[in-house]
Amino acid sequence: MDWITIISTTVKAAIGVETVWYALAAIGINIHFGYTGLLNFGQSAFLAVAGYGLAVTVTVLGLPFWVGIGVGLLSAVLLALLLGIPTLRLRADYLAIVTIAAAEIVRLVFRSVAFKDVFGGSDGRRGFSDGFYAMNPFSPGTYGFGWLSFNERVLWVLVVGWALVALSCLIVFLLMKSPWGRVLKAIREDEDAVRALGKNVFSYKMQSLILGGVIGCLGGFIYGLAYASVQPDIFGTETTFFAYTIVILGGAARVFGPVVGSMIFWVLLVLVNGVLSGAVESGLITFMDSTQVGPFRYLLVGLGLILLLVYRPQGVFGDKREMAIDAR
Amino acid sequence: MHAETTATERKAAALAAFKDLARDPGVPKPDPILVVDNVVRRFGGLTAVEVEHVEVQRGSITALIGPNGAGKTTFFNQLTGFDTADSGQWTFNGRSMNGVPAHKVARAGMVRTFQLTKALSKLTVLENMRLGAQGQKGESFWRALLPAFWKGQEDAITERADELLTRFKLDAKRGDFAGSLSGGQRKLLEMARALMVEPELVMLDEPMAGVNPALTQSLLGHVKDLREQGMTVLFVEHDMDMVRDISDWVIVMAQGHVIAEGPPETIMSDERVIDAYLGAHHDAPLSESELEEQLHEAEAALEAEIEEETQK
Amino acid sequence: MRRAVIAFTAFLSGLVLLLLSAPAYAAAPEQSLRGTLTYQGQPVNGVKIVVTTESGQPVAEVTSNAQGTWQVPVDKPGKYKVTLDVSTLPQDTEVRGGNNVRNPTVFEGNPAAVLFALQAKGGAGPGGENDTTGQSTFWDQAAQLTFEGLNLGLIIALAALGLSLIYGTTGLTNFAHGELVTLGALLAYAFNSGIGLHLIPAALIAVILAGGLGYAQDRFFWGQLRRRGTGIIAMMIVSIGVAIFLRYLFLILFGGESQSYLQYTAQPGIQIGPISAAPKNFVAMGIELAVLVIVGLALMRTRTGKAARAVADNPALASSSGINVDRVIRIIWTMGGAIAALAGIMLGLSQNLKFTMGQDILLLIFAGVTLGGLGTAFGALVGSLIVGLFIQLSTLWVPPELKSVGALAVLIIVLLFRPQGILGRRERIG
């Protein structure tokens, strides 16, 4: 087995593009679910509208990069309003079903043949990231040392991505120790009590939905820019569910929970993939072939999510007393 | 009781207001803070509340009593905007309140507590208290980002919260999670939190339910205290001893209607009240709607128990 | 309790290893040719496709099924010649471009898609005539789509019934219910294709087995979680974990390719009035209806059924009136697992088998359940039929690929105005 490759890909995964965009999606979910108790199962739709907002503005309309970013952010806000107005008065389980349905609608529309001229069907859109890489301050070359090195494009994406993660964490930190955050946490515990104390619960839920959606949508930008393309099926329900796994793994309602969770999640996925693939290739494992390694690690994700909620619902670093979900 | 002596003056004033009133349902009061007209709420074919007219005197402690399933809590929910009435109007301080959402009712100065205490378990006692304060600058999204905007106000709120916690003997628990409090302490916390809103009318839904006897006296004292501080209290209660002890005026509901009003000393000898409490159960077999009511009440009680169980 | 959860996890992992080490009976055919024939958004069945090698040696002759799809497995990669027999096309259609022969290349281990686009014969006719035919085909189409909508609605209803009852009795919004549907379809496939049983006994065994697994799932897993006092939100997320786990387990065992059962795949259609469909669809609908009626009667008439509805209505009250809630829940899980499996088999008959088939239909099941009112058994039936009909009939106006969008949008709109669903009750507060 090629341990050097396994270790290097694993270490890269800890700070890699996947970790970044999943962390951003998960920070958004943490605001919705961890702090406010909103069961938004449609997070992938926020990433999708942002990515496509950028892509379509630049490629189809031929407008500059920053206009695309603006359109993407605006789309996320609009989506939050559209989702929130009918659903935020409903019970948690209804909210879950409606948001997942809405995310599926978004995905199906993006991949439909009927709108292929705009959204590019199941192939998606590409060729909108030039404006982003034109701003790259790193000159072409390889940065890093030995096996831990990136080219200038990846480095630029990572720098911007981690800056966004840091900024998002700072915002969450400031908000959650403010009276505003206190209202959110109180809504999570019992919204009737909050209403009885004169707070407009609907408005706070909406603000939470918008904030989490906008932070999540940054993940859509990062994905689109890193791979210079967006495809509809990247933004399926499983993306949302993996982001939930990440939030719970790192600990819900903790500022750095989603970031740590995303790092652990991708390190484990990449490590398991590397070790199993290596073992299959070198004949150590015979009951699996190399095509089954991919599905097998996602099977482990499912199993991990079950075990986490049963045995450590507070997450890896969480404190049981402060646990935000009603797992008891 | 210390509250007994200081409260005499207010109590006397309240009692004087009620002195010459008729014992009829819907009797006009000299200075009503809350006036209710024709509030109706139906669940399917079942009419849970049908109150033609009722007034609550300012500065008094008014008890709302009635047999199980009389619609007291439902009536509370209508008044406080937690449920939509099918028809009817009511005014608070002369301001029309029907159709006003719950949070605006609270802001107007009409604050309620719940039969099942709603302590926010994963928040500390102090955070619970701070949440009650109105007009907080730090509760707006943009200003929340800069602590400088709200730090000063937060300190003032904390000071007021600490005073109230001391009064309710919860100061030792201020840093604990509300979920770790006992049932009685949660009731106290909920009442103290309601006071943070600085209400004019406090509406208590069964403040004594599930509280151990040692704490009842202190809770009663606190309720009397509210009147002493110039607030009006409307509360739902089952236990007649307590009603007799603290209320100035009693409104009796049965099957959704207000059937009688009167001072606590004589109300239980009123024939209509005896009929409501005993007659319905003894003389006539239960009608279907009553049966359903009782079923619902039993459900609610059961759920309450389960909730209490699971909260531990 | 902890032990039981560990035991169940170990059991599951054991199952994985066992199945992994077993010969991969579900291995996908190495390579194949396939395609789908549609006309005006509707599948065209009964069209003959002849496949020969490049040099003209015959390989196979197939006809398209009720979904318009056909598939020919081929032994080795290379160039093939695919001919569509134009005489078997519906009378008013022809192959676009006129060329009815294709020469696709098949690559190792991959299926090759062969496209034949169909269009109306001779283009547009004279104006007046075209109008009348347009009208009659609209109503013919509507009748055909109503039939297909009912078929889909009944399948959704089968799955929805179990989901709704489980929600009603345990409060669990089970995101793994779609995987129970897949499970039924794949179990039947395993007995059918793997062991070689005829589909009917294979389906019977699959349904019984799935019922048993439903029982086991509650006995060893969900029941234990309930006893631990796991909250409903946490259980919902656990169910997502179960869904992901099972989905990828299916992928590992079954592979990512679409398959079909050995029997009843390519039936020529029959025409009844304006409706044309393969006979299997009529039989399937009959079975679905019969099962729904039986389950409905059982809910209405039998002691257990009444108890189940009582528990769904109010578990605490039911328990206090002497109903053994745990037993009722277990029966519901058993039955829910069995009929979800049946739904999967029926779905597999009318479409292809795929490891995501349950996941793909899950939202429609949710839509049916929610439309009817969460937790009400008969609401789920009505809601599912509405969803099925709506999806198929909406293709009269919207492209078929967007048909689910309409149904999901209606779900959101209905919830906006009637959150309790069509048959649900407005809840009493306090």
What is the CATH number for B216?
3.40.50.300
**pLDDT tens for residues B166-209?**
999 999 999 999 988 888 889 999 999 999 999 999 999 988 88
Q: Are C333 and C218 in contact (CB under 8 A)?
A: yes
B16 touches chain C (CB under 8 A): no
Nearest CA in chain B to A320: B122
**For residue B113, what pLDDT is reported?**
92
DSSP letter for each residue of B275-308? IIIIIHHHTSPPPHHHHHHHHHHHHHHHHHHHHH
Alpha-carbon gap, residue A143 to A190, rounded angstroms: 51
Rounded CA separation B200/B92 (Å): 10
Nearest CB to B144; choose among A178, A190, A196: A178
Could you tell me which chain B residue has the CA closest to the CA of A199? Answer: B103
Measured CA distances, A200 to A180, B105, B113 (Å): 12, 11, 17
Q: Do B103 and A323 touch (CB under 8 A)?
A: no
Q: Answer yes or no: do A199 and B139 touch at CB < 8 A.
A: yes
> What chain A residue is nearest to B176 in terms of C-alpha separation?
A321
Radius of gyration (Cα) for chain B, nearest Å? 20
Tokens of C135: 């009208």
Q: Which positions in chain A touch B150 (Cβ < 8 Å)?
A: 178-179
Per-residue model confidence (pLDDT) at position B1:
43
CA distance C104 to C84: 13
> Is beta strand B201-205 parallel, antiparallel or unpaired with respect to B232-236?
parallel
Letter string b/e over residues A211-220, b meaning 16 or more CB atoms within 10 A of that residue's CB: bbbbbbbbbb
Report the pLDDT value the prediction gives residue B138, as an integer from 0 to 100: 93
- A residues 227-246 closer than 8 Å to C (CB): 238, 241, 244-245
Count of residues in chain C: 430
Which chains lie within 8 Å of chain C at 3 or more CB pairs, if any?
Answer: A, B
Cα–Cα–Cα angle for B5, B9, B10, rounded to 5 degrees: 110
d(CA B80, CA A62): 54
Q: What is the pLDDT at residue C40?
A: 64
CB-based contacts of C80, cutoff 8 Å, min separation 6: C33, C51, C52, C53, C54, C59, C74, C103, C104, C105, C106, C112
pLDDT value, residue C422 = 62
For residues B93-123, one letter each, b for 16 or more C-beta atoms within 10 angstroms of the residue's C-beta and e for the rest, the string is eeeebbebebbebbbbbbbbbbbbbbbbbbb
Q: Residue C44 in contact with residue C89, Cβ under 8 Å?
A: yes
Q: Are residues C383 and C422 in contact, defined by beta-carbon separation less than 8 angstroms?
A: yes
Q: Which residues of C touch A307 (CB under 8 A)?
A: 9
Size (chain A), residues? 328
In a domain, B207, yes or no: yes
How many whole angstroms separate alpha carbon B92 and alpha carbon B51?
16
Question: Residue B272: which H helix or E strand, with range?
Answer: helix B271-274
Residues in Cβ contact with C334 at an 8 Å cutoff, skipping those fewer than 6 apart: C211, C212, C214, C215, C218
Residue in C with minimal Cα distance to B305: C316
How far is the C-alpha of A25 from the C-alpha of A16, rounded, in Å?
15
Task: Tell me the one-letter amino acid at B168.
Answer: F
The shortest C-alpha distance from C412 to chain A (Å) reads 6
Print the domain residue range for B244. 2-119+199-286
CA A91 to centroid of chain Cα atoms: 24
Min CA distance, B176 vs chain C (Å)? 23
Residue B70: what pLDDT? 83
Q: Is A307 on the interface with C (CB under 8 A)?
A: yes
**pLDDT higher at C419 or B39:** B39
Per-residue tokens: A74 = 């605006």
Q: Is A254 on the interface with B (CB under 8 A)?
A: no
A321 touches chain C (CB under 8 A): no
Give the pair of three-digit tokens for residue A111: 């991949």
- Architecture of the CATH domain A3-322: Orthogonal Bundle (1.10)
Report the relative pairing of strands B232-236 and B61-65 from DSSP bridges: parallel
Q: What is the pLDDT of residue C113?
A: 75
Could you tell me which of C131, C132, C99 has the C-alpha nearest to residue C114?
C99
Q: Would the CB atoms of A325 and C363 count as touching at under 8 Å?
A: no
Distances (CA, A) of C326 to B305, C329, C332, C338: 20, 5, 10, 18
In a domain, B304, yes or no: no
Chain A residue with Cα closest to B146: A174
Query: For position B306, what pLDDT does the model report?
Result: 60
Residues of chain A with Cβ-Cβ distance to C173 below 8 Å are 93, 96-97
Please give the C-alpha separations between residue A190 and each of A36, A38, A124, A313, B123, in angstroms, as whole numbers.
Answer: 10, 12, 42, 20, 11
Establish if B242 belongs to a structural domain: yes
What is the pLDDT, as a whole number, of residue A181? 96
Tell me how many domains chain B contains.
1
Q: Residues of B with CB below 8 A from C317's CB?
A: 295, 298-299, 302
Residue found by looking up tokens 């935000």 in the block: A324
Q: Is A134 at the interface with chain B, CB within 8 A?
A: no
Instruction: Give the residue on B whose Cα is nearest the Cα of C428.
Output: B43
Q: Nearest Cα to B233, choosing from B10, B81, B9? A: B10
CB-based contact, A77 to chain B, within 8 Å = no
Neighboring chains of B (3 or more beta-carbon pairs < 8 A): A, C
Partner-chain contact A179 B136, CB within 8 Å: yes
Nearest CA in chain A to B83: A192
Q: Residues A293, A280: contact at Cβ < 8 Å?
A: yes
* Per-residue pLDDT, C378: 80
Block means of pLDDT (10 residues each) for chain A, 328 residues, are 85 93 97 93 96 95 94 96 85 82 93 89 89 92 85 94 97 96 94 94 96 97 95 93 94 92 94 90 82 89 91 79 55
Chain A CB within 8 Å of residue B312 CB: no
Phi, psi of C131 (to 5 degrees): -60, -50
Has residue B286 got a pLDDT over 60? no
Tokens matching residue C261: 């059962």
Distance, CA of A88 to CA of A90 (rounded, Å):
5
Q: What are phi and psi of C24, to 5 degrees?
A: -75, 85
The SS3 of residue C244 is: helix
Q: C417 to chain A: nearest residue by CA? A: A86
Is the pLDDT reported for residue B226 higher than 80? yes
Give me the residue label for tokens 């008891």.
A328
Judge contact between C75 and C36, C-beta under 8 A. no
**Paired residues of B64 in beta bridges:** B236, B251
User: Radius of gyration of chain C from Cα atoms?
Assistant: 24
Put simply, whether B149 touches A (Cβ < 8 Å) is no
CA C352 to chain centre: 9
Residue B215 in any domain: the answer is yes
Tokens for A172, please give them. 């969450």
> Which residues in chain B have Cβ-Cβ distances shorter than 8 Å to C426?
43-44
Contact call for residues C71 and C102 (beta carbons, < 8 A): no
Token pair of A103 as six digits: 């995310």
Tell me if A255 sits within 8 A of A134, measured CB to CB: no
Annotated domain spans of chain C: 31-120, 140-417
Please report the pLDDT score of residue C16 as a whole number: 45
* A170, B104 Cβ separation under 8 angstroms: no
C429 vs B: CB within 8 A? yes
CB distance C236–A113 less than 8 Å?
A: no
Residue boundaries of the structural domains of chain A: 3-322
d(CA C393, CA C142): 7
Report the distance separating Cα C171 and Cα C162, nearest Å. Answer: 13
- pLDDT of C20 reads 41
Q: Distance (Å, rounded) from C-alpha A125 to C-alpha A111?
A: 10
Q: Tell me whether A81 touches chain C (CB under 8 Å).
A: no
Q: Kindly list the residues from chain A whose CB atom is less than 8 angstroms away from the CB atom of residue C405.
A: 105, 108-109
Q: Is B142 on the interface with A (CB under 8 A)?
A: no
Q: What is the mean pLDDT of chain B?
A: 84
pTM of the shown model: 0.82
State the pLDDT at residue C181: 96
Q: Which two tokens stand for residue B287?
A: 């009608």
- Residue B69 neighbours by CB under 8 Å, 6+ apart: B255, B290, B293, B294, B296, B297
Contact B204, B191 (CB under 8 A): yes
Q: Which of residues 292-311 of B touch A (CB under 8 A)?
A: 310
Nearest-neighbour CA in chain B from A82: distance (Å): 20
CATH 1.10.3470 fits C140-417, yes or no: yes
* Run of H or E including B256: none
Looking at CA atoms only, how far is residue A148 from chain C in angstroms? Answer: 32
Q: What is the pLDDT along chain C (430 residues), one digit of tens a residue?
A: 455 555 545 544 444 444 443 333 333 345 778 787 877 666 777 787 888 777 767 777 787 777 778 888 777 777 787 888 777 777 667 776 667 777 777 766 667 777 777 776 654 333 333 444 445 577 888 888 899 899 999 999 999 998 988 888 888 889 999 999 999 999 999 999 888 899 999 999 999 999 999 999 999 999 999 888 888 888 999 999 999 999 999 999 988 888 888 888 767 777 877 777 788 888 889 999 999 999 888 888 888 888 888 887 777 778 777 888 889 999 999 999 999 999 999 999 888 899 999 998 999 999 898 888 766 778 888 899 999 999 999 888 888 888 888 888 888 888 777 777 666 655 433 2
Contacts of C401 in chain A (CB under 8 A): 108, 111-114
Q: What residues 191-230 of chain A have any CB closer than 8 A to a CB of chain B?
A: 192-201, 207, 211
Strand C93-95 relative to strand C69-74, pairing: unpaired
Task: Find the residue in A nearest to C176 (Cα).
Answer: A302
> Rounded CA gap, B49 and B39, in Å?
7
Superfamily of domain covering C31-120: Immunoglobulins (2.60.40.10)
B136 in contact with chain A, both atoms CB, cutoff 8 A: yes
Nearest chain A CA: its distance from C230 CA (Å): 5
